[in-house]
Each structure stands twice: as structure tokens, then as C-alpha cells.
Amino acid sequence: MLTIAVSKGRIYEDALPLLAEAGIIPVDDPKKSRKLILDTTREDVKIVIIRATDVPTFVEYGAADLGIAGKDVLLEHGAESLYEPLDLKIAACRLMTATPKDLTELPRRIRVATKYVKTAQSYFASRGIQAEIIKLYGSMELAPLVGLADCIVDLVDTGNTLKANGLEPRDLITEISSRLIVNKAAMKMKHAEIQALIDNFKQTLASR
């Protein structure tokens, strides 16, 4: 039996065609069902539906053999405890700094609102910028508008969310996409099945 951890929403939607190519089609639709463990058309594969930020934890502890997680989440979690064999090139976006559009100069010590605390800390430290990081769990764009922070670190795709809130992107921290992650013990114990799945995903990606 193989268990794959996936988050509901954009990663799940983007992963469906890849999974389908490997013969894995969920029997239930997580948009309609409250089930968290989904049977699939492959008797030996189950999908567990969890929060995006929890995917590396489930895989690290072996509660799921494999997972699909954004690079943003993996950078925060730390990837030493996991294998990351494949860039699935789905849910692509950029992790960026952003500030109010009319801002000309930042203070010497800046306040940064973000849910990516570790990544932001190491980014500003590597540039010798003094930054106080304020941890938020969402709606980062609001922070500069209400005086909570000078700057945010958040994901940008179309840029519409920034624009709608009078912000603009500044510096690119890193490109983001979703990665296949694998539990280290499972990679040994279930090597043939997992390798077959990796090869299948690779083939599908190569044909895109």
C-alpha cells in the first residue's frame, strides 16, 4: 500500500492529471466529500488530504509514504529529513518581497510580515539587512497598509493580489513549484513501487 499526502486546492487540482497518468484516480471528490482518506482506482494507493504546510510533517514521520508540497513549504520545514526526487512543475509562483507602491526608501531596520519566517530571516541576513520578522498566517498584504510592517514576503503569481492592495513586488527570493517528496524509510522498503511512480511522473512531465 502507498499513501500520498496532498493538500486540497490548487496543488490537488494540478496534481490530478499527473496522478491520472499513473492510473491513480481518486474515487471521492474532496470538494464534495468530508473524507480525509481517499480511495483511488488503484487498490494499492490511497490519497490523504491535509493542509499544505502539514504535508512534509506527515511524510517525514512516515504517516504518508509520499507527498506533494510547495517549495515554499519545504524551505520552511527543512528538507534534510525527506527525499525530494522530482520537481513536478505545478503550482508555480515566486516568493518575493513587496512594499507599498509609493514607498521610496526603507528604514535601516525593517519590519517584515510573512508566514515564511525562516526563509525571510535567512534571505535578509544573507544581504546584511536588519529585519524584524513578524509571523502571520495569512493576508500578509494587509500588514503594510495598516502600519504593521514596512515590507512583506509572500508568494506572487499574477501580481493581482499585490496590485489590488496598492503594493508592488520588489525582489525575487526564489522561484517556487511543487515537489514530490518521499519518506526515507519508505524509499528503501517500498523502493520498486515508489520508483515506478517517480518514473511515471517523469515521463508525463517530459511529454508536456
Which residues make up the interface to ligand ATP (CB under 6 A)? 7, 9-11, 51-53, 70, 72-73, 91-93, 155, 157, 176, 178
Min dist. Cβ of residue 31 to ligand PRP (A): 15
Q: Look at strands 82-87 and 66-70 and give their pairing.
A: unpaired
Residue 73 interacts with which of ligand ATP, ligand PRP, none, CB < 5 to 8 Å by class: ligand ATP
Interface with ligand PRP, residue 128, by CB under 6 A:
no
Q: Which among 177, 183, 200 has a CA at the least distance from the CA of 18? A: 200
Q: Which among 63, 33, 53, 44 has a CA at the least distance from the CA of 1? A: 44
Closer to ligand ATP at the Cβ: 3 or 7?
7
- What radius of gyration, in Å, describes the C-alpha atoms of the chain? 19
Closer to ligand ATP at the Cβ: 76 or 150?
76
Q: How many residues bind to ligand PRP according to rule CB under 6 A? A: 9
Min dist. Cβ of residue 155 to ligand PRP (A): 4
Is the separation of the CB atoms in 165 and 59 below 8 Å?
no
Three-state SS for 71? helix
Q: Look at strands 109-114 and 130-135 and give their pairing.
A: parallel
Three-state SS for 54? helix
Query: 157-176 mask for ligand PRP (x: CB under 6 A)?
Result: xxxxx---------------
What secondary structure, in 3-state letters, does 92-147 show? CEEEEEEEECCCCCCCCEEEEEECCHHHHHHHHHHCCCEEEEEECCCCCCHHHHCC
Min dist. Cβ of residue 164 to ligand ATP (A): 13
Q: Which of residues 138-157 bind ligand PRP (CB under 6 A)?
A: 138, 154-157
Min dist. Cβ of residue 49 to ligand PRP (A): 15
Q: Tell me which residue has its CB nearest to ligand ATP.
A: 70
d(CA 171, CA 117): 16
Query: 9-48 mask for ligand PRP (x: CB under 6 A)?
Result: ----------------------------------------
| Residues near ligand PRP, by CB under 6 A | 138, 154-161
